């Protein structure tokens, strides 16, 4: 039996792990809220102590919560990461335009800069014939998804690399939302206990610090992870360039995709 893994093609854990994380935080928060009755606390303890009940809860509600997180778009963490990099990232060169920080997904402008600065001339020529004309904002995502589908039907190994990169992006995005919601839940618990009983839960303060650190790390690196996903797709399209350069549709017709 094949066990899905994080980063694998359409891996189940990119959904399951963030969902379980939220479920655990929900259980902890409900247990520690000052107005939770003893019957509810005993129920939480009994479920946590039973391997069977814990497994059923994890599969049923953990996966459901993960699916709900999966429905949230990756655009928010991407834009927040972009804003973070605009403020805190240093320029490596004086004349660097930071297009990697300001370009919109799928960063077609930055891919062009990468081809021009770091890749062989043949790659830049391929970019100009295929990707370069697709810089219209309303066509970017449709074009990107179309390229992935074309490659997946023609090159199985390249498709596996593409979906592994996509799965990692989705996993990090899911954990961003899970950490954000968990941070809000735990903050509510800390404030509620302080208001109700003048009690400071120091353990939860350390958890909040850990969550905040994880969120900052995601914001500092998410844009680069997503750029890596796009670079993987571009490299796969270049490897299979005969598909894209072989017809006039790609090189001449600029309206292949709907706006």
Secondary structure of the chain as H, E, C letters = CCCCCCCCCCCCHHHHHHHHHHHHHHHHHHHHCCCCCHHHHHHHHHHHHCHHHHHHHHHHHHHHHHHHHHHCCCHHHHHHHHHHHHHHCCCCCCCCCCHHHHCCCCCHHHHHHHHHHHCCHHHHHHHHHCCHHHCCHHHHHHHHHHHHHHHHCCCHHHHHHHHHHHHHHHHHHHHHHHHHHHHHHHHHHHHHHHHHHCCCCHHHHHHHHHHHHHHHHHHHHHHHHHHHHHHHHHHHHHHCHHHHHCCHHHHCCCCCCCC
Write down the pLDDT at residue 249.
Answer: 47
Question: Judging by beta carbons within 10 Å of its beta carbon (0-12, 13-18, 19+), is residue 137 exposed, middle or buried?
Answer: exposed
Name 135's Cβ contacts closer than 8 Å, sequence gap at least 6: 108, 109
Tell me the mean pLDDT per 10 residues along the chain, length 259.
Answer: 46 82 91 85 84 84 88 90 81 58 86 87 87 71 86 85 89 94 92 83 89 94 93 90 65 42
| Residue among 30, 22, 21, 23 nearest 192 (CA) | 30
């Amino acid at each position: 039996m094949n066990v899905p893994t994080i980063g694998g093609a359409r891996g189940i854990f990119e959904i399951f792990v963030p969902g379980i994380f939220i479920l655990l935080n929900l259980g902890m928060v409900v247990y520690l809220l000052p107005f939770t009755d003893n019957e509810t606390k005993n129920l939480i303890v009994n479920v946590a102590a039973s391997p069977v009940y814990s497994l059923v809860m994890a599969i049923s509600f953990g996966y459901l919560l993960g699916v709900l997180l999966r429905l949230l778009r990756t655009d928010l963490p991407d834009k927040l990461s972009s804003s973070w990099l605009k403020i805190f990232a240093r320029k490596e060169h004086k004349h660097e335009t930071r297009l990697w920080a300001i370009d919109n997904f799928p960063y077609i402008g930055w891919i062009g800069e990468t081809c021009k600065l770091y890749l062989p001339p043949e790659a830049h020529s391929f970019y100009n014939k295929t990707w370069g004309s697709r810089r219209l904002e309303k066509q970017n995502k449709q074009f990107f998804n179309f390229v992935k589908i074309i490659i997946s039907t023609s090159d199985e190994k390249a498709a596996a690399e593409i979906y592994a990169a996509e799965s990692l992006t989705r996993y990090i995005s899911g954990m961003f939302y899970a950490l954000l919601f968990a941070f809000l839940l735990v903050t509510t618990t800390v404030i509620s206990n302080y208001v109700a009983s003048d009690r400071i839960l120091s353990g939860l303060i350390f958890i909040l610090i850990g969550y905040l650190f994880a969120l900052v790390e995601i914001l500092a690196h998410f844009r680069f992870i997503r750029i890596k996903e796009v670079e993987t797709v571009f490299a796969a399209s270049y490897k299979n360039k005969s598909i894209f350069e072989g017809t006039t549709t790609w090189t001449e017709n600029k309206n292949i995709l709907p706006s």
